[in-house]
Structure 1
Amino acid sequence: MTTDVSRPLIIVTGGGTGMGRDIALDQTKLGHDVLIVGRRPDPLEETRSMSAAPHRLHTAVADISTHQGTTALLDAVDGRPVKAFVAAAGGQGDFKDPGTSPEEVDEAWTEALRKNLFSAILPIEAVLPLMVDGQGRIVLIGSTAGLDGAGGPYATAKAALSGYGRDLATRVGRRGITANTLAPGFVAATDFFEAGGYGASATMIEGAASQTLVGRVGQPQDITASVRWLISEDAGWVTAQTITVNGGTVIVR
């Protein structure tokens, strides 16, 4: 990627599918340069082909839940200033029972923490020196599972993500950088269930919709609209918050 200090980047991890894809496409439509990051090249290239401004959308194949993958991300950034970082990478894995043996527990919990916590911490800490003072925005995509405790290791990892977001906000605030966590509820049209070998069936969607106050499940664009605001100048006085976007499934005071 050619360095251009006049055009800061917006980085979106997990940008090849679902919410990450919709967020990335929205930001390129607004005229921003976006770098999407993921482990699989095909979804990243597919996202790029869907953009109305493909010259604004760059890709980096990297597993940013590891320090090796984070180094690959830094190579792709190539020293460019970073205006916003949206950590949308994550997942619940294969939905298996964590088991009871020390080996099984170790494997299940390590996988959940790497996918949903380390995948945010490692790359964010790496790019912090490149973030634009006075304008930088960090958005972590959490989950209502981190608020209501449903989801075992996944829920714990998402709860920890909110804690990391608050700590991060205290460290970057004096630089004029904000950090917030979005906690979506059930969002259809993503790879969340398919990645675990389970389709989001009509029955599942109907059941999830019945638990909301507005009578429908979420769509990626519901999350995208919230991210668009959080990384805009208008949200410069909002930081260290966990904002729930779930149709009223979980009510937080």
Structure 2
Amino acid sequence: MSRLAVVSGGGTGIGRATAGMLAGEGYDVIIVGRRPEVLARALDWIGPQASAVTADLSDPAQVATVVEAVGDRPLDVLVNNAGAYVTGAGAKLDEVAAHWRANFDSNVVTAVLLTTALLPSLRRPGGHIILTSSIAAQRGGGGPYSAAKAALHGYVLDLAADLGQDGITANVVSPGYVTDSEFFAGRMTPEGHAKRVDATLLKRAGEPDDIAEAVRWLVGPGGRYVTGQIINVNGGSVLGR
């Protein structure tokens, strides 16, 4: 039986590239997202080894549909890639609270609920958990989004400590500026793009495949002794620490 991977936020950008990479490595891949039409296009791109589950992972009841899709198969790789920069802050306290909660729901609660639900299915030993963070967690600039992504760093340390004795690794991949994704959703200007590229040491933007390749290493033989780490993939725009 083929190995099994689940990739949340698997319909576009980094998630789709990661799911495609895993399918190319021989995994059966379940991609999860909120928009069925986006998932359908991703399935056409990834190929026959992929299937899709439509779910809002901030809703505990909908997370159960992913557990049902996994069934009784051992889960080899879980990539928590779902998340977004949620805009809409206002000056009133209730608006501020709603803005922060929306960002934490999108980026933290989704990862916590899906991971918790699928923990019993993870292969022991040999399972891998990946959380997708952001350069914003390390340099700020994103308000509640930065804080939410930074929360994943603390969460992965707990996962690594709790699951290490079972032979399960848990790591964060923290991308820098990546094109060909929906993150900026029409908000990126040519000036903003040039500024972000210039901030890198390599003088180029990242691509979704750059992040997928980091995941390939972490879940492959080369990453079997790597756990509890924040893996920066940002072209040198933030130096290691």
Q: TM-score, normalised by structure 2?
A: 0.97
Does 2:12 match 1:17?
A: yes
Q: 1:48-87 to 2 correspondence within 5 Å?
A: 48-51=43-46, 54-87=47-80
Structure 2: state its 5+ residue gaps.
Answer: none
| Cα gap change, 1:150 to 1:199, in 2 (>3 Å) | closer
User: Aligned to 1:55, what secondary structure does the other structure show?
Assistant: coil
Provide the residue aligned with 2:100 in structure 1.
109
Alpha-carbon distance between aligned partners in 2 of 1:144 and 1:112, rounded to the nearest angstrom = 16
Deviation string, structure 1 residues 13-61 (Cα, Å, up to 9, x no partner): 000001000110111112110000000011111111112xx32101000
Q: Is residue 228 of structure 2 the alignment partner of residue 207 of structure 1? A: no
Is this contact kept in 2: 1:169–1:177, CA < 8 A?
Answer: yes
Q: How much is the aligned-residue C-alpha RMSD, in angstroms?
A: 1.1
Q: Is the 8 A contact 2:55 2:63 kept in 1?
A: yes
Cα offset for 1:161? 0.7
The equivalences for 1:175-194 within 5 A come to 175-194=166-185
Deviation at 1:101, TM superposition (A): 2.0
Counterpart among 28, 43, 46 of residue 41 in structure 2: 46
In 2: Cα distance, 1:144 partner to 1:222 partner: 14
Q: Distance in 1 between matches of 2:189 and 2:44?
A: 28
Deviation at 1:9, TM superposition (A): 1.3
> What's the offset of the Cα at 1:100?
3.2
Contact 1:36 1:58 in 2 (8 A): yes
Letter aligned with residue 116 of structure 1: N
Matched residue count: 241
Runs of 4+ in structure 1 displaced over 3 angstroms? none
Alignment partner of 1:149 is 2:140:
yes
Tell me the distance in 2 between the aligned counterparts of 1:11 and 1:131: 11
For 1:206 and 1:214, the matched residues in 2 are separated by 13
Distance in 2 separating the partners of 1:199 and 1:153:
18
Q: What's 1:158 paired with?
A: 149
Match of 1:250 in 2: 238
- Partner of residue 220 from structure 1, selected from 201, 208, 211: 208
Tell me the alpha carbon deviations over residues 190-215 of structure 1, each in whole angstroms, 9 at most, x when there is no partner.
00011xxx333322211100101111
Structure 1 position 143, deviation (Å): 0.5
Identity of aligned residues (%): 38
Determine if contact 2:3/2:26 at 8 Å carries over to the other structure. Answer: no
User: Counterpart of 2:76 in 1: which secondary structure?
Assistant: strand
Q: SS of 1:59's equivalent?
A: strand
1:168 aligns to 2:159 (yes or no): yes
State the secondary structure of the residue aligned to 1:154. Answer: helix
Give the structure 2 partner of residue 89 of structure 1: 82
Letter of the aligned partner of 1:71 in structure 2? A
2:114 pairs with 92, 104, 123, which one?
123
Deviation at 1:182, TM superposition (A): 0.8
Residue type matched to 1:170 in 2? A
- The answer to whether the 8 Å contact 1:10/1:32 transfers is yes
